[in-house]
């Protein structure tokens, strides 16, 4: 596997991680606004608790998992000079995850 493919694999994982982070930030902001009571239109307990759960999953699992996987691919290919074992499994693994 060439260096460009490893870089693309690592960057793809990082894009997923940071997209999850941005979505989680908006959900966190919604939670603050809803709990502040400044906007009566935002008062919805079911939407609030759904955003709390989704925010937690995105921050705890999606962000950390994809960031660690992308960082691992980058470190293995650039610093350790170890090629990715099976790119044919790595790309479907990204999609499946």
**Average pLDDT estimate for 81-93:** 91
Q: What is the pLDDT of residue 89?
A: 93
How many folded domains does the chain comprise? 1
Residue pLDDT, tens place only, 3-53: 788 899 999 999 999 999 999 999 999 999 999 989 888 888 999 999 999
Residue pLDDT, tens place only, 57-71: 999 999 999 999 999
For residue 1, name the pLDDT band (cuts at 50, 70, 90). low
Q: What is the pLDDT of residue 16?
A: 97
What is the domain extent for residue 17? 3-96
Q: Is residue 85's pLDDT more than 90?
A: no
- Cα distance from N-terminal residue to C-terminal residue, the chain: 21
Q: What is the pLDDT of residue 15?
A: 97
> What's the whole-model pTM score?
0.87
């Amino acid at each position: 596997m060439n260096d460009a493919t490893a870089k693309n694999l690592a960057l793809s994982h990082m894009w997923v991680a940071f997209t999850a982070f941005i979505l989680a930030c908006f959900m966190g902001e919604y939670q603050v606004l809803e709990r502040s009571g400044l906007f009566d239109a935002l008062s919805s307990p079911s939407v609030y608790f759904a955003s709390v759960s989704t925010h937690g999953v995105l921050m705890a699992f999606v962000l950390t998992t994809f960031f660690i996987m992308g960082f691992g691919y980058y470190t293995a290919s650039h610093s350790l000079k170890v090629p990715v074992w099976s790119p044919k499994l790595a790309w479907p693994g990204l999609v499946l995850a």
